Amino acid sequence: MRNKLGVCCALIVSILITMTGCSMGYEDYSGAATVMGTIVQCSFRAYGAGNGENVWLSTQGTGNELEYQMLSRRVDDSEIARLNASAGNEEGFELSQELEAYLELCLELSEQTMGAFDITLGALTQLWNIDEAAVDSDNYHIPSPEEIENALDVCGYEKLVINNHRAYMPAGMVIDMGAVGKGIFLSRIYDDWQQTVRYGVVAAGGSILTYGYKDGGQRWNVGIADPSGEQSVIATLKLEGTYYVSTSGDYERYVEVDGVRYHHILDASTGYPSESGISSVTAVIKVDANNTSGNTNGNYIMSNSMVNGLLSDALTTAIFVLGEKEGLRLAHQYDAEILIVRNDGTVVMTDGMHQYVD
């Protein structure tokens, strides 16, 4: 048995800002830490000499707050954990406006993908437990068809009902925000940095935010990892301005049993890791600072940058399961550019992606 946890990032940003300098009322700063269960690397030019460390601490704080107060299903008191604990209760669960907006957007994507993307698969992801197996595979066993059948019985986005700011779930259903958490985190950083950062980049696992324009005029370089590992990078993106870039890949978290790779992106139509012929999907979405319109869900207005942060992360997971043909259609629908690496190592991309690929 072999295991692998994606310690190498699916996306590789070259840290182009010459670090740790203070001048003219700015400070260049870089940092790395484990936040939201992944390595977060940051490099930015902060407003105000000596402010770099404060910005870095508050960036980490934003991630920790999101994880512990809202998104993690493993932290007892988080909103998602309390929502999951309410499964089967007739009176449902009162959602915060922010979480309600995220859930609504996820459900919209489930409808658009006919369930290829589905945050209600938590019982199935818990059963497969690939995250843990990728760290320690010694006692791993592949779930039996009966176990998979039982888990699938309590999954299904159409069974999650949101009505009057309350969520109603059948007993046993588990919401898993693993496919969107990093994207939500990056959109929060985008908001935080409006006041504190002139330009910068942050990489959280397979998701990256490039923020603003560098003073020197150079573009951001984002390398897309080669899923086969034969070379470190299969393509490099050159980006100018603010973008979300996200990658989902079968090499990020997996366990190998008897030569078969079981990875972490699951297909609800089979109950098994998705086999769509794809090794990785990368999505690029430009954030237009002038476009402040967003989705109105209930009373809560998600800004354009929040919608796109979540979408960039969600779309790669969705397209990974949907496969190439339907994936290209979905990317077009959401104004995302995508690059797919097929299992045989060949690459296909949307027309608009060519402008970014070096």
With respect to ligand AMP, which residue has the nearer C-beta, 212 or 273?
273
The least distance separating ligand AMP from the CB of residue 281, rounded to whole angstroms, comes to: 8
Burial class (CB in 10 A: 0-12, 13-18, 19+), 348: middle
At closest approach, how far in Å is the CB of 235 from ligand AMP? Answer: 19
Angle made by CA atoms 264, 106, 199, in degrees to the nearest 5: 85
Tokens of 319: 């397209």
Contact criterion met (CB below 8 Å) for 146 and 135: no
d(CA 344, CA 216): 39
| 179 binds Mg ion, rule: CB under 5 A | yes
Q: Minimum distance from CB of 322 to ligand AMP (Å)?
A: 9
Footprint on this chain of ligand AMP (rule: CB under 6 A): 117-119, 121, 125, 176, 178-179, 206, 248, 252, 264-266, 313, 316-317, 321
From Mg ion, ligand AMP, none, which one binds at residue 265 (CB under 5 to 8 Å depending on kind)? ligand AMP
Residue 7: CB atoms within 10 Å: 9
Of the two residues 45 and 188, which places its CB atom closer to ligand AMP in the complex? 188
* 274 touches Mg ion by CB under 5 A: no
Nearer CB in complex with ligand AMP: 302/321: 321
Q: Is 355 left (phi over 0), alpha (psi -120 to 50) or beta?
A: alpha
Identify which of residues 162 and 184 has a Cβ nearer to ligand AMP in the complex: 184
How far from 39 is each of 5, 6, 301, CA to CA, in Å? 12, 10, 30
Select from 88, 51, 82, 54 the least CA-distant residue to 68. Answer: 82
Q: Which does 42 bind (CB under 5 to 8 A by kind): Mg ion, ligand AMP, none?
A: none
Closer to Mg ion by CB, 280 or 317: give it.
Answer: 317
By a kind-dependent CB cut-off of 5 to 8 A, residue 237 interacts, out of ligand AMP, Mg ion, none, with none
8 vs 57, which CB is nearer to ligand AMP? 8
The answer to the question of residue 313 lying near Mg ion (CB under 5 A) is yes
Contacts of 170 (CB under 8 A, 6+ apart): 87, 88, 154, 159
Positions that interact with Mg ion (CB under 5 A): 179, 313, 317
